[in-house]
Chains A and B, each alone.
Chain A
């Protein structure tokens, strides 16, 4: 299944490893921050509504 990469195997595999790792880190960081900010905003809005109601 694995293609024969010959003497360039290290270069090709390291390119794929670094690129995929950077993309995964970017996606995970974006999703994590999105969820955290959404949760925090909901909590601040809820507090604001409770304060307004007295």
Chain B
């Protein structure tokens, strides 16, 4: 069986992801369109939340990807720290803008949903606050990559920042359970049938989550390829300048 580390070779990574990318992107588009159309047009209103329940199809998947995007960056950063594979550091860099966008979508849809339900756009609730801090970590992470010219130094420092930020990624997920207070409800998805969202909302929601996961993977592949090429270009230009 081929080792996973063969994909640490930039050429191999680009060749492989080039073949997979159209399928992942296509599947993402289908899952998102079917999931969102199903959820928006063909599900009933909630007896308490009315039609605002339709926001769940955007809010939950984007929040999930905001947290898991950071976790993916953490794994890639650890691989960089331990094994010094450039592709993993570049994959973490490539994922950051995608994760940051997911965090913005989760924050904005949460605020829009919160206004009619809680009577306020924002509250310093544990989950909302930890999510806002996670967003600031995303911004800091991207700024740090952009601020440092040497790629290896940037990868080292951003990896450390990623480790620190992981605390808030975990807090964003479990803040409601830790503090058991604030406005935000517990998890919408649960293995406990009583806790889980009703079936009529659950199936389109699963499809939307699949769509967001596939979108994240497709963008990750595309953006990592771009980062690999940009790094090679910087190296070639530096060699040119040296004559």
* Interface residues, chain A, with chain B CB atoms under 8 Å away: 1, 3-9, 11-12, 14-16, 18-19, 22-23, 26-27, 30-31, 33-34, 37-38, 40-41, 44-45, 47-48, 51
Q: Known contacts A8-B116, A16-B40, A23-B101; is A30 also within 8 Å of B108 by CB?
A: no
B233 touches A34 (CB 8 A): no
Cβ proximity bits B90-125 to A, threshold 8 Å, 1 near / 0 not: 000000011001001100110011011000000000
Instruction: Report whether A44 and B237 are in contact in the complex, using a CB–CB cutoff of 8 Å.
Output: yes
Interface size class of B (residues with CB under 8 A): 35 or more
Return 5 A-B CB contacts under 8 Å, by A number. Answer: A11-B116, A12-B52, A19-B62, A31-B222, A38-B229
Q: Across the interface, name the chain A residue whose C-beta is closest to B101.
A: A26
Q: Which residue of B lies closest to A25 (CB)?
A: B101
Q: Are A37 and B226 in contact (CB under 8 A)?
A: yes
Tell me the minimal C-beta distance from B233 to chain A in angstroms. 5
The answer to whether A15 touches B219, judged by C-beta atoms less than 8 angstroms apart, is: no
Query: Which residues on B are within 8 Å of A, measured CB to CB?
Result: 36, 40-41, 45, 50-52, 54-55, 58-59, 62, 97-98, 101, 104-105, 108-109, 112-113, 115-116, 215, 219, 222-223, 225-226, 229-230, 232-233, 236-237, 239-240
Least CB distance from B108 to A in Å reads: 5
Question: Which A-B residue pairs are the 4 nearest by beta carbons?
Answer: A5-B51, A19-B58, A34-B226, A15-B109
- Nearest to B97 among chain A residues (CB) is A26
Main secondary structure of the interface of A (DSSP, over half): helix
Most interface-central of B36, B50, B239 (chain A CB within 10 A)? B50
Known pairs A11-B55, A38-B226; list 19 more (Cβ under 8 Å): A3-B41, A5-B51, A14-B112, A15-B58, A16-B58, A18-B109, A18-B112, A19-B62, A22-B104, A23-B215, A30-B223, A33-B223, A34-B222, A37-B233, A38-B229, A41-B229, A41-B236, A44-B240, A51-B240
